Homo-oligomer: A and B are copies of this chain.
Amino acid sequence: MASGSDDDPRIGDISEGAVLRAILARTAPAAHAVLGPGDDAAVITAPSRSVVATADTLVEGPDFRLAWSTGYDLGWKSAAVNLSDIAAMGAVPTALLVSLAVPAGTRLSFVEAMADGFRECCAQLAPGCSVVGGDLTVSELLMIAVTALGDLGGRSAVTRAGARPGDVVALAGDLGVAAAGLGLLFARFRDGATPVPVDRSALDAVQQRALDRQLRPVPPLALGPIAADGGATAMMDVSDGLALDGSRMADASGVTIALSGSALDALAFGGDRGRALGGGEDHGLLATFAPGEVPDGFTPIGQVLTRGDAPVLVDGEPVAESGWDPYRDWDHAR
């Protein structure tokens, strides 16, 4: 949003139609769309006669800072966090709708980069899924509201409520990586208030990976339907940290989730168990399976017990349900 030229007009200086044309030129066709963008609404096939739908929003300030995230990063992340919720039901993502509220001074190239981020995230994580519609508004604040749709392909949706005592608790995806990346960003506040851009070249390879995963998460989407086919009894996307999201699954299922400290330490980024439990935004898949039925790609990290006093235990001890509120409760990230 900083640089620009006459070749790169501000959103407020060109027509909505011109902005939409530029976005659509960078949008891939959706394999499941009968009718794509441009009419009052899109039409998407729902072969299994049901549609899975979720919505999640990124807001400038509480969810990201423009000193740290590029347009591409924001497009990617907005797509990924929504696609992950579709996969967590056992479904395959089919379509995104994107409502953009953009300050008038934003350069067109920034919005084009967002469109690239949406397209590439779908291409890499959910082939066939694409943006089929949306909305563009001028606003004082950048806000990206996304709805993702998906198809269950005849599977039953896997909710949070089906975990049974005796099941194995398993995890797919990162654990504490995105929080480590956020820690690197929050170390770059000048005077504790002004975010300072990160010189990526000054980071080592491990730090670079953490930063990249924070800005452009890579949830294990393909494992969602695989887990459903493999008999997952409960499943959810870990967006707010394993402790809090685990307690949500435990409460919904009426069970206690007992985690193994050594299993967590083995998976935790940098071996940091506290960050693994409290840090969010990894968008891994937490699922439960009958013993012996954990599919490849998931790592056992505990077991489901009859409900006790605490929703989540680690090595038998209750865990505080420390929430993840990025850009506010960022203590967890350090």
Contacts and interface: CB of A to CB of B under 8 A. Distances in A.
Interface stretch (A89-97, A116-124, A170-178, A257-265): A89-97
Given A41-B86, A47-B49, A145-B145, A137 B57 contact: yes
Nearest to A245: B40
Interface string A108-149: 000000000000000000000000111101111101010111
A41 B139 contact: no
Interface stretch (A58-66, A272-280, A305-313): A58-66
A232 interface: no
A46 B49 contact: yes
A100 to B, nearest CB: 8
A150 interface: yes
A194 interface: no
Indicate how many identical chains form the complex: 2
A43 interface: yes
Contact of A57 (B39, B54, B135): B135
Contacts of A252: 38-39
Q: Interface size class for chain A?
A: 35 or more
B59 A139 contact: yes
A69 interface: no
At the interface, is chain A mostly helix, strand, loop or mixed? strand
A301 interface: no
A164 B132 CA distance: 26
B35 A145 contact: no
Q: Which of A39, A89, A161 has the most chain B CB within a 10 Å cutoff?
A: A39
20 contacts: A35-B157, A35-B159, A39-B159, A39-B160, A39-B236, A40-B54, A41-B53, A41-B88, A41-B157, A43-B50, A43-B52, A53-B97, A53-B132, A54-B133, A55-B98, A55-B133, A56-B135, A99-B99, A145-B145, A147-B147
Across the A-B interface, give the 9 residue pairs with the lowest CB-CB distance, nearest first: A145-B145, A46-B46, A41-B54, A147-B147, A55-B97, A40-B88, A40-B85, A99-B145, A57-B99
Interface of A: 34-35, 38-47, 49-57, 59, 61-63, 84-86, 88-89, 91, 95, 97-99, 101, 132-135, 137-141, 143, 145, 147-150, 152, 157, 159-161, 236-237, 252
